[in-house]
Structure 1
Amino acid sequence: MTTLVAVQYRFYAARVVAARRIGASLIRVTLGGPELADFAGGGRDQSVSLFLPHPGQPEPVLPVAEGDDWFGAYRAMDADVRAVMRSYTIREQRPERAEVDIDFVSHGDTGPASRWARHALPGDRVVLLGPAVQDNRSVCFRPPTGTDSVLLVADETALPAAAGILAWLPAGTRVRAWIEVPDAADIQELPSAAQAEVSWIVRGATAPGSSLLADAVRAARLSPGSPYAWVAGESSMVRSVRRHLVAERGLDRRHVTFSGYWRRGVSEEDLRAEAAAAAA
């Protein structure tokens, strides 16, 4: 499956190589296959669209339309037949083995992606829509010239992206990071050559999307200079942290990258429909 989508992206057929639980709340699925040898990940917070089969299907069902027409053809298909589409960050890429890792937040069988990850077995088929070139617009972490430090704010859904950013940053970069996870067992080693100070916030019984991360950033003493901030996770948290950094800390809004990975009570299908309607 080598269909190109515009210039920057293409479809990659892949199979599950392994799946294992990491911590209390995450499942790491390793995907491999000959086509992934050409996967041109840009590192950092490189995201992809992952297509999963419905229960009982041997592989994800996608339209035969090529190029930019594929999404319209996909949307026109029966929702109970067409592949489940979700957005994920590449946690790690191993080009020499034609493999990538994707971490899934596990919340039982309440969502199709979580359900699929819990039951994933070697050989299970998936499709990725990912980069055909390294410098692609699905990499959002882009510090501007003159940046002298980095601020990272993430919940567990953005933890893989934060980990990818820390692994990519060059030696000597000053980083303050705040990462919220549901359980203390979700705390991980995050290798980095940067001078990184990582604060873990264990949510416990507090509902996700709370003010815990925003409160932690508000309480922090930040060094003067020209920081670049990257904030990702639940949408209301992201808005709150961004508002604080720009309105109260005085950061240039152009130096704050923010992304609502999810919103309480709203499915990804709903979010995509909203985005499509706004674009129209």
Structure 2
Amino acid sequence: MRTWYRPLVLFSGLMALTAVASAIGLLVDDRELLGAPIWMKPLKFSLSFVAFGLSWAWLLSLPERRPRFLGGTALVIIAGSLLEMVIIIGQVVRGRQSHFNVTTAFDSMLFSIMGATVAILFLGTLVLSVYIAARRLAPAPELLAIRFGMGISLVGMAVGILMTTASSGMEGFVGAHSVGVLDGGPGMPLTGWSTTGGDLRIGHFIGMHALQLLPLLALAIRGRAESTSVRIIWTASLGYLAVVVLTTWQALRGQPLFAPDWVTGTALGVIAAGVALGLLSARGKARVEERITA
């Protein structure tokens, strides 16, 4: 980690401390907002930023010579992310909802600033992704996993845009996490994802964390033949992207994650079958290649 991009490592460390502070807040502050402990949101955002920051600190260590604009872009992302966290925590202290809240001029201004920070985060990540993806900075399987991870992560970020267009059903709020039900209804433990309606946070969450999971998969299968590893990464990545699309589509249709209709269930079965066939094909071709080289 000594070669990782230091500002992002420091940012991740700060977010880890924020996560600890938020966890303490959960223990000492019994206030709730929309049916959830009020400190749960900053805790979840802090942990997400830890994963994001460490991932990009590693990715920016891959080029032998890092252009100055990459560091500048990363610093802009850090500044935007810190500003977003300050607003989220500030609103928690005030006992107010940070996202979609336009009930007062001040709340509306804060939400507008958060919209700007999200745009900065997305565009900055896009710039970094294009630069890293255009270069051969790792062995083929790992490079493929990095490229897919960055791309799917951007798709996951874009799902957040759909939340601003969802109907909240509440006066003074523009946008919502849930579809078909009001935010703050029955939800899953920890995540808070709706158990009675659709929830756009599911596809958003799954998509964003492709940046961590797919490269970790590539590292886990290191040591296999390169061609086999590439086939596995292709299969896993396409299946992962399909799940992001499916869970987002399911949410838009107002369905809880664990109460899909037959259409969603069939689509999930097709995805699972496709991934299974892809992995079996990769295994079969690997055996053929082993016999040929034996």
TM-score (norm 1): 0.26
Higher helix share: 2
Higher relative contact order (CA 8 A, sep 6+): 1
TM-score (norm 2): 0.25
Which structure has the larger Rg over C-alpha atoms? Answer: 2
